[in-house]
Structures are given as structure tokens and as C-alpha cells.
């Protein structure tokens, strides 16, 4: 039987390598899919060889658990709409955190960990995993619309810190105790779960992607720590790789949103407008016929999609319009701001879903110089990412965020429903500019009308 264990260990090494290579393959859209497929096979191998781990029993129940958990997740993952992706990622992530916490709980229940580094990391993993579990559930509930309000306690931050301190002290006591009592252990888990809930509850839905990414890194760390407790380096490697990459990803997102992570967690945006200079002048409306004509007879159009396009689910219509315009000889490309929408790469995923090839899609640095040569910049449900105040108005909450230079195009057409502000809740100077026209309506409907008119212009 010892031989079998060695083979399993070796197989795990291979699995860890494939995981890393799979993540590496995700650095380019051309290889990304291959990467996840490899990683998927590695996961299957890991699961199968684990069945031969020496001295295991309870197989029947284990397989039932795997089948239920796996198939429920598989099915829901197949059903979910692209726009609901963030909450789905959140809930799967929470489950990983919960599994890590449950591993620690079982080890404690069986009295298998005591003293030293092992106990410390077991407790730490349990704490982080529990927070990731309950926090992710809250994130899911919010984004899914189950939990509508942002609950705030008075003195929220003090409460958070106080509870965290209590949990930490209790955890330390458990880690150093010779035989921690079940009561203390149960209390520890309950408080850790509560911590996850109260920390995430006050955070607004729009900040959620950052939180989800952070909780993803948390789960990675929890898995890594429990891997050490179990003496399973494959878990350590996979967990820590995700912990590190998740942390980096969170930082990149927070930076792109111009909002330090500490602010996301401790001073959530409350929804009230937050300063910014008042803007003089008025917005000018434009009909969909005029908009269609302007674009149909342009030679170069740059489309800037934003959160509004996502909620309207208008990406298919937008791509239909793009193809019509291209048939008419217009050059159409997409300009994507790094934080357009509500999750990183949000617009790319939606446009990809609609079938837009990724070589028509350019990011901020690639395209910003081209606006001056464009006849039309078509802004669809985007707001903050084209707000020129970010360049000049020091009092604006988005001051300093790089923006897409839509205002430099010959004509700007903005599709939105009304005078609603964007995520940051501030006015947009672009809409008052001389060369800007508003095409009011929900994105789906407005673009639909434009399509009808463009079709009628075909000769």
C-alpha cells in the first residue's frame, strides 16, 4: 500500500504542474481555453487517484456527496446567464472556502491537530475559509437581488474590528490548547461566519467584484493552509498560487477603479452624490434616424460599451448594428475601458458572447490616440469611463482615473435612458459638450431602432 501512496504523491505533482501551466495559458485568448481544459483533466486525475489513498473508507457516502455537489454546480453553471457570472463565481468560491473550513472543523473534531505550526495554520485556514464562505454568500445574495439593501450597523468599522479581534483571540486559544473543547470550536466557527457576513453586508453591489476577487484570494489561502495541515503539498501549491494571483488581481481591479481596497471595505459608497463641480449648459437630444444616418455615412466609428449595455443585454443588437455598418463600408471598432461594466473584463465577455471577434476590441492604451481621427464615438450605456472631469476636476471622486477620449471624436452619440448617473454618482461634462448628442432609450431598444433605420438606408 505504501507504493500506492508514492504514486499518488507523484500524480499530485503532475496535477500541480498542469494547474500552473493552465493558468499560464490564460495569458492569451488564443490558448486560454486549452488551459482550462488541461486543468479540468488534471482535476479529474487528482480526484481519481485520491480514491486509492491508503486507509480510506466511507466511499459510498463520499461519492454521493461528489455527485450531488458536482452535478448541481455543473447544471447551474450551464444555465447561468453571462450577466449573472459574477454572483456565480462568488458562490462557487464560497463553497471552496466552506470546504476548507469544514476540513479544519473535521480535523479539530477528531482531535487530530494540536500545537505548533499545524494547529496555527489549521485555525487560520478555518477562519479565512469561513469568512470567504459566508462573505461569498452575501455577495451572491446582493448581486442576485435577494438581498437588496446595504445593511450598515452604527459604528460598523469598530464592530468589524472588534469581532475580528474576538475571533482571532479565540482562534489563538484553540491553536495553542492541548485539547480544545468542542464548545469553543463551535463558537469560533460561528463567529468567523458572522464576521464574513457583517464585513460584506454594508458593501454596495457595484463594489462587489472587488470583494469577490478578494474572497477568491482568501479561499486560495485557506486551501493552501489546510493543505499544509493535511501534509498535501499539491493543495498548498494550488491554494497559494491562487492566493497570490487573486491578491494581485484584486489590486489591479481596485487600482483601475481608482478606489483603494481599504475604501471598498471600510467606506462603502453610499449612493449619495459625492461632490464634483456643477456643470453649465444643456444636453442636446438626437433621434434614432439622425443617429443612424450619422453613423451610416461615417468612415470610422468607435463604440464604447458600458454598464448600461450589460444590464440591457444589448450586446447582440450592437454586434448586429456593427455588421450592418461594416457591410456599408464603415470601419467599426470597440474601445473597452478596463473598468467598464461591473467586473474586470465584463465588456469583453459580453461582446465575446455576442460573437464580436477579439481583434476588433481595443483597450484604453491601444485606442485612445485614435479618437481624434474618428467620425463618431458611440457611447452605449457608459458614463464614468468617458467623463472628462476625471482629467481636470480635482474635486471629482474619479479624478485621476484614465478615461476613454470620446470627447475628441468628431461627433459623440450617447445612448442612455435618461439623466441617470453612473456608478460614481456624478454628472458627466461630456454630455454637455458641443459635439455631443443624446439618444435616449434603453440600449436594446435604441440600437434596435438604429438598426431599422440603417437597413432602410441600404441602397
Partner 1 sequence: MDGIVYLYVFVLAAFTGYEVISRVPVILHTPLMSGSNFIHGVVLIGAMVVMGHADPDSPLELAIGFFAVLLGAANAAGGYVVTERMLAMFKSGKKKEGE
Ligand X SMILES: NC(=O)c1ccc[n+]([C@@H]2O[C@H](COP(=O)([O-])OP(=O)(O)OC[C@H]3O[C@@H](n4cnc5c(N)ncnc54)[C@H](OP(=O)(O)O)[C@@H]3O)[C@@H](O)[C@H]2O)c1
Which residues within the stretch 61-90 sit at the binding site for partner 1 (CB under 8 A)? 61-62, 64-74, 76-78, 80, 82, 85-86, 88-89
Query: Any contact of residue 196 with partner 1 (CB under 8 A)?
Result: no
Q: Do 419 and 383 contact (CB within 8 A), yes or no?
A: no
Residue 308's closest CA among 407, 180, 445?
445
Nearest distance from residue 21's CB to partner 1, in Å? 9
The interface partner of residue 88, options being ligand X, partner 1, none and the CB cut-off 5 to 8 Å by kind, is partner 1
DSSP H or E segment with residue 368:
none
**Which candidate in 84, 290, 375, 384 is catalytic?**
384
Residue 97's closest CA among 255, 228, 224?
224
DSSP secondary structure code for residue 181 in this structure: -
* Burial category of 160 from C-beta neighbours within 10 Å (exposed 0-12, middle 13-18, buried 19 and up): middle
Q: 375 catalytic, yes or no?
A: no
Nearest distance from residue 338's CB to ligand X, in Å? 7
Listing DSSP states for 129-141 in one string gives HHHHHHHHHHHHH
Nearest distance from residue 59's CB to partner 1, in Å? 7
Which residue(s) pair with 440 in the sheet? Answer: 416
The interface partner of residue 435, options being partner 1, ligand X, none and the CB cut-off 5 to 8 Å by kind, is none
Query: Any contact of residue 58 with partner 1 (CB under 8 A)?
Result: yes
Q: Exactly one of 7, 56, 161, 457 binds partner 1 (CB under 8 A); which one?
A: 56
Characterize 231-255 residue by residue with b for buried, 16 or more Cβ atoms within 10 angstroms of its Cβ, and e for exposed: ebebbbbbbbbbbebbbebbbebbe
* Burial category of 44 from C-beta neighbours within 10 Å (exposed 0-12, middle 13-18, buried 19 and up): exposed
The interface partner of residue 19, options being ligand X, partner 1, none and the CB cut-off 5 to 8 Å by kind, is partner 1
Binding residues for ligand X (CB under 6 A): 206-207, 209, 253, 257, 306-308, 311-312, 339-344, 346, 381-385, 415-424, 442-443
Q: Exactly one of 4, 7, 161, 252 binds partner 1 (CB under 8 A); which one?
A: 252
In the three-class reduction of DSSP (H, G, I as helix; E, B as strand; rest coil), residue 310 is classed as helix
Residues 308-367 that bind partner 1 (CB under 8 A): 336, 338, 343-346, 348-349, 352-353, 355, 357-361, 363
Residues 122-161 that bind partner 1 (CB under 8 A): none
Query: Any contact of residue 105 with partner 1 (CB under 8 A)?
Result: yes
The interface partner of residue 423, options being partner 1, ligand X, none and the CB cut-off 5 to 8 Å by kind, is ligand X
Closer to ligand X by CB, 243 or 381: give it: 381
Closer to ligand X by CB, 312 or 356: give it: 312
* Burial category of 84 from C-beta neighbours within 10 Å (exposed 0-12, middle 13-18, buried 19 and up): middle
Closer to ligand X by CB, 122 or 314: give it: 314
DSSP H or E segment with residue 414:
strand 411-416
Taking the mean position of all CA atoms in its chain, how far away is CA 315? 19
338/101 Cα distance (integer angstroms): 34
The interface partner of residue 312, options being ligand X, partner 1, none and the CB cut-off 5 to 8 Å by kind, is ligand X
Residues 206-245 that bind partner 1 (CB under 8 A): 212-213, 216, 219-220, 223-224, 226-228, 230-245
377/433 Cα distance (integer angstroms): 13
Q: Exactly one of 1, 2, 30, 179 binds partner 1 (CB under 8 A); which one?
A: 30
The interface partner of residue 281, options being partner 1, ligand X, none and the CB cut-off 5 to 8 Å by kind, is none
Closer to ligand X by CB, 5 or 284: give it: 284
Taking the mean position of all CA atoms in its chain, how far away is CA 96? 16
Grid coordinates given for 105: 472543523
Grid coordinates given for 456: 432602410
Nearest distance from residue 404's CB to ligand X, in Å? 9
Closer to partner 1 by CB, 66 or 173: give it: 66
* Burial category of 446 from C-beta neighbours within 10 Å (exposed 0-12, middle 13-18, buried 19 and up): buried
| Residue the block writes with cell 454546480 | 73
260/444 Cα distance (integer angstroms): 34
Closer to ligand X by CB, 295 or 414: give it: 414
Closer to partner 1 by CB, 331 or 353: give it: 353
286/165 Cα distance (integer angstroms): 58
Sheet strand arrangement including 331-336: 361-363, 331-336, 300-305, 376-380, 411-416, 436-440
Query: Any contact of residue 395 with partner 1 (CB under 8 A)?
Result: no
Query: How large is the greatest C-alpha to C-alpha distance in the chain, in angstroms?
Result: 85
The interface partner of residue 306, options being partner 1, ligand X, none and the CB cut-off 5 to 8 Å by kind, is ligand X
The interface partner of residue 80, options being partner 1, ligand X, none and the CB cut-off 5 to 8 Å by kind, is partner 1
Nearest distance from residue 219's CB to partner 1, in Å? 5
Cα angle: 175, vertex 179, 181; to 5 degrees: 90
Nearest distance from residue 353's CB to ligand X, in Å? 16
Query: Any contact of residue 55 with partner 1 (CB under 8 A)?
Result: yes
Nearest distance from residue 429's CB to ligand X, in Å? 13
Query: Any contact of residue 57 with partner 1 (CB under 8 A)?
Result: yes
Residue 261's closest CA among 276, 246, 273?
246
Q: Give the catalytic positions in this structure.
A: 384
Amino acid at each position: 500500500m505504501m507504493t500506492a501512496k508514492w504514486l499518488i504523491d507523484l500524480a499530485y505533482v503532475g496535477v500541480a504542474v498542469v494547474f500552473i501551466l493552465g493558468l499560464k495559458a490564460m495569458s492569451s485568448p488564443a490558448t486560454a481555453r486549452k488551459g482550462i481544459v488541461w486543468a479540468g483533466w488534471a482535476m479529474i486525475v487528482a480526484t481519481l487517484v485520491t480514491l486509492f489513498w491508503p486507509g480510506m473508507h466511507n466511499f459510498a457516502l463520499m461519492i454521493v456527496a461528489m455527485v450531488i455537489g458536482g452535478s448541481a454546480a455543473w447544471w447551474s453553471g450551464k444555465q447561468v446567464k453571462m450577466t449573472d457570472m459574477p454572483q456565480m463565481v462568488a458562490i462557487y468560491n464560497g463553497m471552496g472556502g466552506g470546504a476548507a473550513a469544514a476540513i479544519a472543523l473535521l480535523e479539530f473534531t477528531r482531535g487530530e491537530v494540536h500545537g505548533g505550526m499545524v494547529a496555527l495554520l489549521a485555525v487560520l485556514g478555518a477562519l479565512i475559509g469561513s469568512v470567504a464562505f459566508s462573505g461569498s454568500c452575501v455577495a451572491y445574495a446582493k448581486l442576485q437581488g435577494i438581498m437588496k439593501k446595504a445593511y450598515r450597523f452604527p459604528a460598523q468599522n469598530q464592530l468589524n474590528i472588534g469581532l475580528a479581534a474576538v475571533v482571532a483571540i479565540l482562534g489563538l486559544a484553540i491553536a495553542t490548547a492541548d485539547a480544545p473543547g468542542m464548545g469553543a470550536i463551535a463558537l469560533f466557527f460561528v463567529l468567523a461566519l458572522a464576521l464574513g457576513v457583517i464585513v460584506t453586508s454594508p458593501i454596495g453591489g457595484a463594489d462587489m467584484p472587488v470583494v469577490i476577487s478578494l474572497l477568491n484570494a482568501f479561499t486560495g489561502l485557506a486551501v493552501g493552509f489546510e493543505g499544509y495541515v493535511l501534509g498535501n503539498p499539491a493543495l498548498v501549491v494550488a491554494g497559494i498560487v491562487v492566493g497570490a494571483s487573486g491578491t494581485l488581481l484584486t489590486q489591479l481591479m481596485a487600482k483601475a477603479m481608482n478606489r483603494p481596497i481599504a475604501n471598498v471595505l471600510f467606506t462603502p459608497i453610499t449612493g449619495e452624490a459625492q461632490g464634483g463641480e456643477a456643470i453649465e449648459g444643456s444636453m442636446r437630444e438626437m433621434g434614432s434616424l439622425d443617429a443612424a444616418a450619422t453613423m451610416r455615412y461615417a468612415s470610422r466609428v468607435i463604440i464604447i460599451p458600458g454598464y448600461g449595455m450589460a444590464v440591457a443585454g444589448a450586446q447582440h443588437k450592437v454586434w448586429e448594428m456593427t455588421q450592418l455598418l461594416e457591410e456599408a463600408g464603415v470601419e467599426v471598432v470597440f474601445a473597452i475601458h478596463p473598468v467598464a461594466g461591473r467586473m474586470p473584463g465584463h465588456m469583453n465577455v459580453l461582446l465575446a458572447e455576442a460573437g464580436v471577434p477579439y481583434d476588433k476590441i481595443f483597450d484604453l492604451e491601444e485606442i485612445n490616440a485614435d479618437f481624434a481621427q474618428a467620425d463618431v464615438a458611440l457611447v452605449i450605456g457608459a458614463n464614468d469611463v468617458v467623463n472628462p472631469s476625471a482629467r481636470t476636476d480635482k474635486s471629482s471622486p474619479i479624478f485621476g482615473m484614465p478615461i476613454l477620449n470620446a470627447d475628441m471624436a468628431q461627433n459623440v452619440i450617447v445612448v442612455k435612458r435618461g439623466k441617470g448617473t453612473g456608478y460614481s454618482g456624478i454628472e458627466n461634462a461630456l454630455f454637455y459638450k458641443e459635439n455631443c448628442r443624446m439618444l435616449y432609450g434603453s440600449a436594446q431598444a435604441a440600437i434596435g431602432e438604429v438598426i431599422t433605420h440603417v437597413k432602410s438606408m441600404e441602397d
